[in-house]
Amino acid sequence: MAATEASPTQRIVTSRDELNQIASRYRKKSKHSFGSVTRKMLFWLLIAIIVIYSLFPFYWAIVSSLTPDSLLYKTPVKFWPQAFTWDHYSQVLRDGGFLRALLNSTIVSTVTVLLALFFGTVGAYALGRLHFRGRTIILYLILSMTMFPAVAIIGSLFIFVRQLHLYNTLIALIITYLSFSLPFTVWVLTNFFKAMPDELEQAAMVDGATPLRALWQILLPMAVPGLVTTGLLAFIAAWSEFLYALTFTIPGGNNTTVQVAIANFSGRTQFEQPFALKMAAAVVVTIPLLVGVLLVQRRIVSGLTAGAIKG
């Protein structure tokens, strides 16, 4: 028996079913697209909030340093002042005590980083590449040194510095800064050396290289990203340190660091707080760090490219 043709009513019902299916798929697609757009908007909103929260203190320091003293404490607060002045930066850069403190901080931070990287690299190589008993215990003991707050050990460090007759010297600051920068450097670089393949070192030793020569010629060039990153973090920590610098030097002396010098800024009268002057000094101190971070980022990328292992 020949198949009967569908009636007009059946065709209408069929077309309605198809339309309903198409509409259902469209609604699901629209909901999916709307949800995706909403998630992206919330994500970028969160990023914007984090960026504003992070940059606003630095922005406010710049604005405050450029605002005249007569307008600084006016209410309501102006997030974009009506007048600008460079007098605060001029006072900071003409202050011989601040410039001397800036030089002291540069010397202390640089020497601390160089010593931390030298001893930290040798120690991290031994803990990461050599096999001996107790290396895990030693590694965790080194890590535990970073868990003590500065207030807990500053008394014993002060006695140590006084017994060595190093009080109010830059050497005292370098020794005390190594107490927190060296353990951090050893811990980070140990994990970095552990991640390197053993075949490189074995091939160098087959060619007659000693462990130290293999470290210097083979592993150290590959560790450039880790060295640069660790050195940058150690430099920032030493540059920004305040408690040790205040304790082991005489405020206002020739060996004061820049953080203590900023805290000791005084106004024209006894009760005046030179807020704008301190903000100008803070900007002067922070800008070199920002420039250094930008330069180091490019070196990290080039180090990763140069030290990449194929296969």
Q: What is the rounded distance in angstroms from the CA atom of residue 196 to the CA atom of residue 200?
A: 8
Mean pLDDT of 4-30: 57
Q: Would you place residue 78 in the very low, low, confident or very high pLDDT band (cuts 50, 70, 90)?
A: confident
Say whether 296 sits in a helix, a strand or coil: helix
The pLDDT > 90 percentage for the chain reads 16
In sequence order, the 6+-apart residues with CB closer than 8 A to the CB of 173 are: 108, 244, 245, 248, 249, 255, 257
Helix 275-306 to helix 224-240 angle (10° resolution) is: 170
Q: What is the pLDDT of residues 114-129, one digit of tens each?
A: 999 999 988 888 888 7
CB proximity list for 201: less than 8 A, separation 6 or greater: 129, 211, 214, 218, 219
pLDDT per residue over 261-300, tens digit each? 888 887 665 566 788 888 899 899 988 888 877 777 766 5
Inform me whether the pLDDT recorded for 97 exceeds 90: no
Spatial contact of 279 and 261, defined as CB atoms under 8 Å apart: no
| Stretch 42-66: mean pLDDT | 90
| Ranges 57-71, 125-139, 196-210, 269-283, most confident | 57-71
Q: What is the pTM of this model?
A: 0.77
Q: 68 with 89: CB under 8 angstroms?
A: no
Grade residue 311 by pLDDT with cuts at 50, 70 and 90: very low
CB 187 within 8 A of CB 281: no
